[in-house]
Amino acid sequence: MTNPLRAFEEVREALLAAAVPLAGIESVPTAEALGRVLAADQVSSLNVPPLDNSYMDGYAVRTAELPATGTRLTVAQRIPAGSVGHTLAPGTVARIFTGAPVPAGADAIVMQELCEVDGDSVTINHLPKPGEWIRRAGEDIALGQTILSAGVRLNPQMLGLAASVGCATLPVFRRLKVALFSTGDELVMPGEPLPPGAIYNSNRYVLRGLLEALGCEVNDLGIVPDKLDATRAALRDAASRNDLIVTSGGVSVGEEDHIKPAVQAEGRLDAWLVAMKPGKPVAFGRVNDAGGGPGAAFIGLPGNPVSSFVTFILLVRPFVLRAQGVTDCLPKAIPLVAGFDWPKPDRRREFLRVRIGDDGRVALFPNQGPGVLTSTVWADGIVNNPPSQAIVAGDQVQFIPYSELLS
């Protein structure tokens, strides 16, 4: 009896529901927090900027003292960034530089290009409005404002924002520990001789790179022989010291595919066949820790390189992000115009390797086979095509860029 196909969306939701955020929070230097997941809201303890300051190099003026263009006033002080001036005396202006605090009494900045300097005096050839070229205190960030919410994956801009309010360290969830191995007696590592019938193990490099790009601690167990006892031993070892086990190969129904019975013997298997192309055989479950620990979640991916890649970025990636505490972990699609025909769709949901052409339309890689890894390098994203949906050039398609999938 064969297992029925499970809808792609159903399997993804099951994975997300099973992805319990990690226990354990670390405090790391802000400069080292790139890619980590914030564990607590960050609230500003100050205004940014802390004082009204100048947007421009120019002159701080009192607008009431400028009845007409050509007004001549005395330059009574000079205020570079990092220093604070004194109250603007009547009939005077202050030479001021970008980022410097606006002195009390001044209510506008006139850029230097609109002024003529003559010794200690300056002629103002512009009538500014009150507030012109002044950046108000708290204009960017207000005291008490939440600047970063828990559950975001920290990017360079966020680190800069945290630094701007004085955060020297940030609380982050610990990294997910992931065991990775491949199964298949036909697999050979690069650098070794390639005997007849063998292939080099590309999946190991793709999956390890994807996991590391997501901030995981990867425990690479290499290639496990296509034997049930060897597979079970590898699973037991992995479950004792990792949060997640990811495998490639051995999840179809072939005689030498041992992942399914091995996981069932060492834990449980919750999902098996997914209505997606490429990537139909995907295993999901949990492996027990014989030592009494919590064990590890398990996701088994197909062995074909493209199938392995696509199932990872669409199913494993959201699971990993959610387990690391990320709240918004699903990729966002962009509606674009197809520059290709797809007249014979599959009854499963299809993920087509494509890239955006010079004309702004989506071009299709000519060979969509599950073993054509070249297609993943040529492409800059995928089209999410619903089951049985034919595509004609000019149709709108849902394009998911790699920027939404690879980090």
Q: Are 311 and 301 in contact (CB under 8 A)?
A: yes
pLDDT in tens, 69-97: 999 999 999 999 999 999 999 999 999 99
pLDDT above 60: residue 185: yes
pLDDT above 50: residue 384: yes
Per the structure, the complete domain to which residue 33 belongs is given by 28-44+149-173
pLDDT above 70: residue 1: no
* Same structural domain, 317 and 249: yes
Rounded Cα gap, residues 105 and 41, in angstroms: 38
Mean pLDDT (whole number) for 333-345: 98
Q: Please report the pLDDT score of residue 249 as a whole number.
A: 82
126 found inside a domain: yes
Tokens describing residue 279: 């990537």
More confident residue, 225 or 207: 207
Confidence at 191, pLDDT banded by 50, 70, 90? confident
Which CATH number covers residue 343?
2.40.340.10
Q: Please give the full DSSP string across 260-297, using - where no structure is assigned.
A: HHHHHHHEEEEEEEEEEES--EEEEEEE--TTSS--EE
328 found inside a domain: no
Task: Give how many domains the chain has, as a whole number.
Answer: 4
Mean pLDDT (whole number) for 177-185: 87
pLDDT in tens, 249-291: 877 665 456 788 899 999 998 767 899 999 888 888 999 998 8
Q: Please give the full DSSP string across 302-336, using - where no structure is assigned.
A: -SSHHHHHHHIIIIIHHHHHHHTT-S--S---EEE
* Same structural domain, 164 and 185: no
* Same structural domain, 62 and 19: no
* Same structural domain, 283 and 210: yes
Rounded Cα gap, residues 373 and 370, in angstroms: 8
Mean pLDDT (whole number) for 296-310: 92
pLDDT above 90: residue 224: no
Q: Please report the pLDDT score of residue 406 as a whole number.
A: 94
Least confident among 49-58, 160-169, 288-297, 352-361: 288-297
* Same structural domain, 317 and 338: no
329 found inside a domain: no
